[in-house]
């Protein structure tokens, strides 16, 4: 079984050090660097625990320059969520281009667990952890953050429908999302890569079990 995985740093900023100096950045570049830094820090340390000063220090800009672009942390959160939504759309489109069949696409989704296993073991799923934190805070941005799950849900349901499971496509999509979130949560708790690999294999077996025999017989 061929496994296609594509790493677009979908919902987290590049983990490499930013190394940005204020004098070398234009306005648009500075704003984007703030969003990238906030994205990473919200993922690694949490939204509530991340202060303006943490973000500013990460990219090496003054507080005044920082406030020119964002007046509140909620404004930064909105920008981070918008970036994650756009990167999710890009990822889904890339999977469709790379895979020949809807079955390939489903396996690419499962492959995120392997592609991003190091980050998952350290910090969990960026979509799930942010959504959970915003839910605890009863934050107004929760629906927008959880909207990324909706993008995956609709896309996965379309894949199952294309494979002959239109009547219960949404149920299957939600089950696959549930399994991936459970794996991410336990992987972060136990820091167990072998667990991720076992569950990745189990998910692929489950996907095969949901498909009509005619579809599987066409697999190389």
> Among residues 187, 38, 29, 45, which one has the least CA distance to residue 116?
187
CATH class of the structural domain 22-217: mainly alpha
Each residue's pLDDT expressed in tens, for the chain with a length of 220 residues: 444 444 434 444 333 333 333 434 456 799 999 999 999 999 999 999 999 999 999 999 988 888 899 999 999 999 999 999 999 999 999 999 998 999 999 999 999 999 999 999 999 999 999 999 999 999 999 999 999 999 999 999 999 999 999 999 999 999 999 999 999 999 999 999 999 999 999 999 999 999 876 455 555 5
Domain boundaries, the chain: 22-217
Tell me the CA distances in angstroms from 207 to 55, 61, 102, 128, one per residue in order.
41, 48, 11, 22
Listing DSSP states for 157-178 in one string gives HHHHHHTT-GGGHHHHHHHHHH
pTM of structure: 0.85
* Cα angle for residues 141, 143, 146 (degrees, 5° grid): 105
């Amino acid at each position: 079984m061929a496994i296609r995985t594509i790493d677009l740093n979908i919902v987290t900023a590049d983990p490499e050090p930013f190394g940005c100096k204020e004098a070398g950045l234009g306005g648009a570049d500075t704003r984007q660097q703030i969003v990238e830094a906030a994205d990473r820090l919200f993922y690694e340390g949490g939204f509530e625990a991340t202060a303006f000063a943490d973000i500013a220090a990460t990219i090496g800009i003054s507080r005044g320059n920082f406030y020119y672009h964002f007046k509140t942390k909620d404004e930064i959160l909105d920008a981070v969520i918008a970036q994650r939504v756009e990167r999710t759309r890009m990822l889904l489109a890339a999977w469709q281009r790379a895979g020949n069949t809807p079955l390939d696409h489903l396996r690419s989704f499962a492959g995120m667990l392997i592609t991003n296993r190091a980050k998952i073991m350290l910090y969990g799923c960026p979509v799930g952890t942010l959504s959970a934190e915003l839910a605890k805070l009863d934050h107004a941005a929760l629906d927008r953050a959880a909207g990324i799950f909706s993008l995956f849900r609709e896309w996965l349901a379309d894949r199952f429908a294309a494979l002959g499971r239109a009547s219960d496509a949404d149920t299957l999509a939600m089950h696959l999302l549930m399994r991936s979130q459970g794996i991410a949560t336990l992987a972060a708790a136990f820091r167990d890569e072998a667990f991720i690999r076992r569950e990745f294999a189990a998910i692929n077996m489950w996907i095969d079990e949901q498909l009509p025999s005619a579809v599987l017989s066409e697999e190389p």
